[in-house]
Amino acid sequence: MSQHDDLAWRAEAACLVACPASRQHLLDGWLLRASGGPTRRTNSLNPTPGPRGPADAAIAVCERAYAALGQPAIVRVVSLAPELDEPLAARGYGAEGHASTLFAALDGMPDGLDSGVRLMPAPDGDWLALRSRLAGADAQAAAIYAAMTGDLRGPRAFAALDLAGETASMGYTVLDGPLAVIESVATPPQLRGRGHARRTVGALMRWARANGAVGACLQVVAENAAALSLYRGLGFRTELLRYHYRRQG
Mean pLDDT, residues 70-91: 96
Largest Cα–Cα distance in the chain?
Answer: 56
Q: What is the mean pLDDT of the chain?
A: 95
The per-residue pLDDT for 175 is 98
CA–CA distance, 208 with 178 (Å, rounded to integer): 9
Q: How does pLDDT run across 231-241, given as a tens digit for each residue?
A: 999 999 999 99
DSSP at 81: B
CA distances from 70 to 37, 79, 135, 168, 246 (A): 11, 28, 23, 38, 17
Task: Give percent of the chain with pLDDT exceeding 90.
Answer: 93
In the predicted structure, residue 111 carries a pLDDT above the cut 90: no
Antiparallel, parallel or unpaired: β 179-186 and 166-176:
antiparallel
Q: φ, ψ for residue 120 (rounded to 5)? A: -130, 145
Report the predicted TM-score, pTM, of the whole model to 2 decimal places: 0.95
The per-residue pLDDT for 70 is 93
Mean pLDDT, residues 157-177: 95
Q: How does pLDDT run across 209-247, given as a tens digit for each residue?
A: 999 999 999 999 999 999 999 999 999 999 999 999 999
User: How many of the other CB atoms lie within 10 Å of CB of 23?
Assistant: 13
CATH 3.40.630.30 boundaries in the chain: 104-242
- Homologous superfamily of 104-242 in CATH? Gcn5-related N-acetyltransferase (GNAT) (3.40.630.30)
Nearest alpha carbon to residue 170 among 231, 127, 208, 132 = 127
The per-residue pLDDT for 201 is 97
In the predicted structure, residue 45 carries a pLDDT above the cut 90: yes
In the predicted structure, residue 114 carries a pLDDT above the cut 90: no
